[in-house]
Structure 1
Amino acid sequence: MDRRSLIKNAGIAGVLAAGVAPAVHAQAAVRWRLASSFPKSLDTIFGSAEVFSKAVKDMSGGKFEVSVHAAGELMPAFGVVDGVQNGTVEMAHTAPYYFFGKNEAFAIGGAIPFGMNSRQLTAWMVDGNGQKLMREFYAQYNIIDFIGGNTGAQMGGWFRKEIKSPDDIKGLKFRVGGFAGKVIERMGGVPQNIPGGEIYQALEKGTIDAAEWIGPYDDQKLGINKVAPFYYYPGWWEGSLNLSFYVNDKAFNGLSAENKAIIKAASHEAHVTTQARYDSRNPGALKQLVGAKTKVLPFPQSVMDASFKASQEVFAELDAKNPDWKKIHADYVNFQRDQVLWFRFAEGTFDNFMQRQKL
């Protein structure tokens, strides 16, 4: 009796009893590459992609693996959008605002000056219209995006000299991430878009006068405090920074429904873990920086007011000339308006009270 007849006549129980296993169509293994925009030395922001990769492997039982490659290994830090768009790599992990030069609307998916805090931005992306609108925009680049971490509110950066008024911004060569450079430029500064791994050398050599990166934990790892003594706050250009996983649309659409669900679940795990790491590690790092004689200073009110005014002017100009920006930004601002109102009654009042207490 041939194998097919045996299975038909005996049934599965009989086949197993006879020691003959039926044909099993195992799911093919999937191997992807992820290009990061960040250096390996930063276990927070680069580590977000590692958390994602491990979650994908664990949830798939090892059948789906994503290898993670630091900036410069497969392509330059700022080359990852082209890499995903062209299918050179299946996915990337990056800060969307790095690519505002392609289209200013990229920045809204990451951070814009005086934008939403981390809770608010995550709410817009996950439960508001944020991800829907950004995916409509990214479709023209063959990209499907997933949330990939949030840094929380950032510091205002490291300066060689004190900033006492808006006049001190004029002529300042300032390494500032992405879209915020447009506002700095309007204020008379000279923005520089430099990858994180190159900031220390640029400050040390005097190529730039000031630089912002993220916050105490990452900034300390980069050693920026050794070449600039004044550490300002807050980073008004990044009330929070939403990081993104960019996935090539053809690669994603070729996945099974199970693996698509794994991508989403792993991105959410990476998002939560990344923010938790920043919130957990920044306080201790700030204490260490202060102990090492770093001068931590608030931006003067005049600088904050001038920055806000310049930001609103830039937004109005983009509303008038960039349809992609106008569509997404209008929804963003409407959502932010309600969030600010809600936080004023609950989160803001509670936080302000607690900051005055002695614990």
Structure 2
Amino acid sequence: MDRRSFIKTAGIGSAGAAAASTLGAPAIAQARTPMVIVSSWPRDLPGLGTGAQRLAVRIEELTDGAIATEYYAAGERVGAFDVFDAVSSGNAQAYHSTDYYWKGVHPAWSYITTVPFGLNYVEQNAFIHWMGGQELWDELGEQYDIKGFLAGNNGVQMGGWFNKEVNGPDDFRGLRMRIPGIGGDMMANMGVSIVTLSGGQIFENLISGAIDATEFIGPWNDFFLNLHQAARYYYWPGVHEPGAAMSLGVNKSWLTALPAWQQAAIEAACHEENDRMTAEFNANNGLYLSRLVNDHGVQLRRFNPEIYDAFGAAAEQTFDEIRQHSDLANRMHEAFLHARREVGGWMNIADVAYLQERNRVLGLE
């Protein structure tokens, strides 16, 4: 698909192009600056892959071509988990990924993406933009010459795919499960054997029996990875990733050398994609859940309270380990707790209470 066709299919209309032309006017007299963007997603994977590709197109649009983006999906230039090093070293200008993949570098990266019993999309935006999250992110990124921007979110995830039913905490012991981030550490504290795999490797490992269970995202993405052909039981609600944020991590030395208006255009494109991707996931997940259940016989199962209580205990054990890592990790966790308490408390009075009553009245419970 050529770039012009992709713009049309991505829903970028003439109004957006006109706005881009206005913002990008200063670029007419300037040379084109290449921007290599590497990602952790398979090419054209709905939501993640297409969203990252759309962001690359939008950056070029908003700068009227002054920044010439070159997008590479996972494995096309570097591996899915190698994008951080590529950008930190300056071998690429930006990555689109989830920052919890770098928790082995520093555990504070996990809070930029998501943690168990963490923040949903609305809460995460408040945390990053208005409650000190961006400042802590900048402090963390400074050590690796990376400036990060929120650039997408896939919302509350499903609990995962399992080859057998799990009826209590003991059923998790010995399971081989693909699950990244702090959610993986939580599961390890429940006796799960954690396996690290990129999205493109999950199906083959699940269907071969190399793993017993996996999480990925939700019905829309999971459908296109054919996970329903490899496992029977689909559990909810997910606890490990209640609002996984995507990041555009940009090499800071490269970024700050750009004219200020081009830096602003990159940030604006990220703001757009952060909103657009979440809306797209919400528009598609319900449809594809129905298809999985009605057309493919997927068995939905809900984690029971005993399992959720065990998740809570394992998550707290994991958080204690993180806080002991460093002062920055502890400050990141404290800021996260403040956001969860303040924003979550308000949402309980507003959003949660309203949805409960709306669904009760309309019979949607």
TM-aligned CA deviation for residue 117 of structure 1: 0.8
Q: Deviations over 1:79-130 (max 9, x none)?
A: 0110001001000000111111111111011011100111000111122211
Verify: 1:156 aligned to 2:159, yes or no.
Answer: yes
SS across alignment from 1:231? strand
Match among 42, 49, 71 for residue 39 of structure 1:
42
Question: Does the CA contact (< 8 Å) of 1:155 and 1:212 recur in 2?
Answer: yes
Report the equivalent of 2:23. none
Q: C-alpha offsets along residues 154-200 of structure 1, whole Å, 9 cap, x if unaligned? A: 00010000010000000000101222111111111111121000000
Residue equivalent to 2:58: 55
Aligned positions of 1:161-240 closer than 5 A: 161-240=164-243
Q: Which runs of 5+ in 1 are unaligned?
A: 1-23
Alpha-carbon distance in structure 1 between the residues aligned to 2:359 and 2:216: 25
For the residue of structure 2 that corresponds to 1:271, the secondary structure is helix
**What is the aligned partner in structure 1 of residue 307 from structure 2?**
303
Equivalent in the alignment of 1:312: 316
C-alpha contact (below 8 Å) 2:153/2:277 kept by paired residues: yes
How far is the alpha carbon of 1:53 from its aligned partner? 1.6
CA–CA distance in structure 2, aligned partners of residues 76 and 146 of structure 1: 21
Equivalent of residue 341 in structure 2, options 337, 341, 348: 337
1:106 counterpart = 2:96: no
* Counterpart selection for 1:348 from 349, 352, 361: 352
**Contact 2:28/2:66 (8 A) holds in 1:** no
Match of 2:82?
79
Aligned residues: 336
Structure 2 Cα separation of the partners of residues 286 and 78 of structure 1: 29
TM-score by length of 1: 0.91
How far did 1:329 drift? Answer: 0.9
- Partners of 2:57 and 2:83 in 1: how far apart? 21
How is 1:2-21 mapped onto 2 (pairs within 5 angstroms)?
none
CA–CA distance in structure 2, aligned partners of residues 345 and 178 of structure 1: 30
Runs of 4+ in 1 over 6 A off after TM superposition: none
Return the offset for 1:51: 2.0
CA contact (8 A) 2:118 2:242 kept: yes
**Which has more radius of gyration?**
1
Given that 2:39 and 2:80 are in contact with CA atoms closer than 8 Å, whether structure 1 keeps it comes out as yes
Q: 1:119 aligns with which of 117, 122, 128?
A: 122
Distance in 1 (alpha carbons) for counterparts of 2:216 and 2:325: 30
Structure 2 counterpart of 1:204, one-letter code: I
Deviation, 1:25, is 8.9
| CA distance in structure 2 between the partners assigned to 1:90 and 1:112 by the alignment | 27
Q: Percent identity?
A: 32
Q: Considering only aligned residues, what root-mean-square deviation do their CA atoms show, in Å?
A: 1.3
> Are 2:151 and 2:246, in contact at CA under 8 Å, matched by a contact in 1?
yes
**Alignment partner of 1:64 is 2:63:** no
Superposed displacement of residue 322, structure 1: 2.5
Q: Structure 1 residue 321: deviation in Å?
A: 3.1
Counterpart AA for 2:171: D
1:92 paired residue number = 95
Equivalent of 1:129, from 113, 127, 132? 132
Distance (whole Å) between structure 1 residues aligned to residue 323 and residue 28 of structure 2: 53
Contact in 2 for aligned 1:41/1:221 (Cα 8 Å):
no
Indicate if the aligned counterparts of 1:32 and 1:67 stay in contact, CA closer than 8 A.
Answer: yes
Deviation at 1:335, TM superposition (A): 1.3
Mark the runs of 5 or more structure 2 residues left unpaired by the alignment: 1-26
Higher mean C-alpha displacement, 78-87 vs 320-329: 320-329
For 1:69 and 1:25, the matched residues in 2 are separated by: 26
